[in-house]
C-alpha cells in the first residue's frame, strides 16, 4: 500500500542547493515531528510512503517499514541524500567503493568494501552521489518509520542483485515508476 498525498514540513526557499548537511538537518527536524510521524498509515505487508516538501527543491519522503522488509540493493544516481529513523530501528548495508556510474551490468566487488550500520530511533546519515546500499527493517514484530531527502530530486534509482561479491544491475527506475 502506498500513500501519496503531499505533506508540507518546511518551506523550501533557500537560494542555493541544499547540501548533505542541510538534508540531514531536515530529516532530523522532520523526524522530531511526532504528529507527522504518527499520521503515516502503516500496512502490515508493504512499505507505505508520503511525499514531503524538502528544503531547497529537494525530494523528501516519510516511509513506513513493516517487519522484515527492505529495499534491496540500489543507488540514487547523481543525487546526494540523507535519511533518519524516526521510529523503530533500521539497518543499512552499504559499499565503501565508488562504482562506475554507467556502462556495466556485472561487477565483482573487492574484499573489504562492505559496511553495516544500525540506525535506531533518532539516528541517521547523509551520503553522496552513487551511494549503493540496502535498507532493512529486521524486526519480526515492529514497524519502523524513516524520513529521507534527496537533492537533486531523484532522476532515477538503479536496482541491483547481489550474490556474494557479484553485483548485477537489474533495473533502472524513473520517477514515474514510484510517484
Q: d(Cα 87, Cα 103) in Å, to the nearest integer?
A: 38
φ/ψ bin of 132: left (φ > 0), alpha (ψ from -120 to 50), beta (otherwise): beta
pTM of the model: 0.88
Q: Would you state the torsion angle of the CA atoms of residues 61, 12, 15, 98, taken in this order, to the nearest 10 degrees?
A: 0
Residue 54 confidence (pLDDT) above 70: yes
Give the confidence band of 13 by pLDDT, cuts at 50, 70, 90. Answer: very low
pLDDT band at 9 (very low <50, low <70, confident <90, very high): very low
For the chain, the average pLDDT equals: 90
Mean pLDDT of 1-30: 70
pLDDT tens digits, 115-166: 999 999 999 999 999 899 999 999 999 999 999 999 999 999 999 999 999 9
Residue 35: which H helix or E strand, with range?
A: helix 34-39
| 80-107 residue pLDDT tens | 999 999 999 999 999 998 887 677 899 9
Amino acid at each position: 500500500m502506498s500513500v501519496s498525498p503531499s505533506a508540507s514540513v518546511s518551506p523550501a526557499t533557500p537560494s542555493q542547493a541544499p547540501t548533505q548537511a542541510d538534508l540531514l538537518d531536515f530529516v532530523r527536524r522532520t523526524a522530531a515531528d511526532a504528529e507527522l510521524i504518527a499520521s503515516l498509515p502503516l500496512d502490515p505487508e508493504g512499505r507505505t510512503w508520503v511525499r514531503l516538501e524538502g528544503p531547497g527543491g529537494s525530494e523528501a519522503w516519510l516511509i513506513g517499514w513493516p517487519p522484515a522488509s527492505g529495499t534491496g540493493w540500489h543507488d540514487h544516481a547523481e543525487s546526494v541524500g540523507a535519511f533518519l529513523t524516526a521510529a523503530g530501528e533500521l539497518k543499512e548495508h552499504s559499499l565503501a567503493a565508488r562504482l562506475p556510474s554507467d556502462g556495466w551490468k556485472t561487477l565483482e566487488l573487492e574484499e573489504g568494501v562492505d559496511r553495516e550500520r544500525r540506525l535506531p530511533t533518532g539516528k541517521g546519515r547523509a551520503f553522496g552521489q552513487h551511494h549503493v546500499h540496502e535498507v532493512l527493517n529486521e524486526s519480526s514484530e515492529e514497524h519502523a518509520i524513516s524520513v529521507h531527502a534527496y537533492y537533486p530530486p531523484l532522476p532515477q534509482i538503479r536496482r541491483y542483485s547481489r550474490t556474494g561479491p557479484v553485483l548485477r544491475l537489474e533495473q533502472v527506475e524513473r520517477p514515474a515508476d514510484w510517484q
